[in-house]
Structure 1
Amino acid sequence: MPDEVCGSCHALGSSWVRLQWCSTCGHVGCCDSSRGQHAYAHHVRTGHPVVLSLAPDESWAWCFVDEVFLVRVP
């Protein structure tokens, strides 16, 4: 299981709203509702296209390239 923190926010002493997990490399970053938007920043930096929500009550993935939600099989 990935870390339960946004490493970038943690390093800045900041907080986050939700976490997203990069399906390509496992990077954990905060969502676009968070101040840092570190999951999106990771996509811009690497080109990795898909993140999965780490919220326990959510089972979706998001493709930054196609701008669509994807169904995730638990």
Structure 2
Amino acid sequence: MSATCTHLDTIQVTELPTPVRGCEECLAIGGRWVHLRMCESCGRVGCCDSSPNRHASAHARTAQHPIARSAEPGEQWSWCYVDNVAFVLDQG
């Protein structure tokens, strides 16, 4: 496991959409989610791995978009699926 994310150059989207309606795929199929994650390559919002359908990590694998950030209110952390590491972007 890497101590740092080596995919920071893939980040294109850091701001959450307003409002966050929910997991895009769960909304389409009538599914449910626990927590939401936003892809920092394309902005797609999906459900976390604690959710039944795990759409965020599935998107990361199929689209080869390695980083997602928490889309939960008040949370600022990101997760790199490839390097298996959480981090907070320095926005300053």
| Common fold by TM > 0.5 | yes
| Larger Cα-atom Rg | 2
Report if the CA contact (8 A) 1:4-1:19 is conserved: no
What are structure 1's unaligned runs of at least 5 residues? none
Give the aligned partner of residue 27 of structure 1: 44
Give the 3-state SS of the residue equivalent to 2:60 in structure 1: helix
Give the aligned partner of residue 69 of structure 1: 86
Query: If each structure's strand is expressed as a fraction of its own residues, which one has the higher value?
Result: 1
Give distance in 2, aligned partners of 1:57 and 1:4.
Answer: 16
CA RMSD for the aligned pairs?
Answer: 1.3
Deviation, structure 1 residue 71: 1.3
Identical-residue share of aligned pairs (%)? 46
Q: What are the within-5 Å matches in structure 2 for residues 1-74 of structure 1? A: 1-2=16-17, 3-73=20-90
What are structure 2's unaligned runs of at least 5 residues? 1-15
Give distance in 2, aligned partners of 1:45 and 1:62.
Answer: 16
Relative contact order higher in (CA < 8 Å, ≥ 6 apart): 2
